[in-house]
Amino acid sequence: MPDLVIVHKNDPLAASLADQTVARLSGSFRIFREISDFDGIRDKPPVGFKPQLIVSFGGDGTLLYCSRAWGLDGTPILGVNLGSLGFLAEVEPMWFDELLDLALAGQANIDVRQALDIAVTHDHKPVTNFTVFNDAVINKGALSRIMNLKLSVAGSAFWNFRADGLILATPTGSTAYNLSAGGPVVHHSLPVVIVTPICPFTLSSRSLILPLDLELYVSIDQNAVDVHLTGDGQVYTPLSPGDLITVSRSKATLRLISNPHRQYFDALRVKLGFFHDDRTLESI
């Protein structure tokens, strides 16, 4: 019997949709159900298992959680949007049954998103590593001073940033913290990484869009204090002076079941208010 994972927020609508899905599929699938905020795990999938499908009821945060927990090996994820934005979880509840049937029949369109591997070392010794689908953010604490960060690319190009922090984003994550910090919106099909300083000290410090296959290195200033690194807003590690952060293209990919009723530019228009002119290109 194939495996299916259902992850949902701990709210009435998400729980109700999860209940309905379990009732509908329990005779055909071995179903594991989990709440994304960790309070109330019902079934814990065995280590090393590979589900056929992951269903996420919630927002982008819920989808990022289950992608990290179960989707790193390429399992398709059907993200049902019960949140506010829904750039990743792009299937509205009205379309869920249709998309679920297509997914189970192997006929759904799959959107493949690139990920970044993040590794932290200190004196050439590993500290931590993780994978992000949206972004990795170097940030300072509430009372910390502006920090100095050095970015090197493939050992041949160097930038120095004096800023409150630095965002290293995938194109998928370009509409998240990167956009709020003044970074560009980049279509998710492009193989690039976006580097955006947070509140830079000099106005000449701007975002960089770099090839995804080039390894990036960010070194933390020796005088830095109260600095931390977060991945997708869910993974946290404190940083020490002299730490080196390596950013590289991940072998893991995020495989999202796309919604045929909504296009990428529709999301920009509806969610962010882009493209206020409703005329088509043919009418201009």
Hunting for tokens 């990290």 — which residue is that? 68
Q: Is 123 a catalytic residue?
A: no
Decide if 167 contacts 200 (C-beta within 8 A): no
Extract the tokens encoding 249: 């293209």
Residue 96: phi, psi to the nearest 5? -60, -50
Q: Name the catalytic one among 37, 39, 60, 213.
A: 60
Decide if 65 contacts 36 (C-beta within 8 A): yes
Q: CB within 8 A of 162, min separation 6: which ones?
A: 146, 147, 148, 149, 200, 201, 202, 205
Distance (Å, rounded) from C-alpha 75 to C-alpha 68? 11
- 3-class SS letters over 99-130: HHHHHHCCCCCEEEEEEEEEEEEECCEEEEEE
Burial class of residue 271 in the structure, from the number of CB atoms within 10 Å of its CB (0-12 exposed, 13-18 middle, 19+ buried) = middle
Q: Which of 96, 101, 71 is nearest to 13 (CA)?
A: 96
Decide if 108 contacts 99 (C-beta within 8 A): yes
Tallying the residues shown for the chain, one arrives at 284
**Which positions are catalytic?**
60
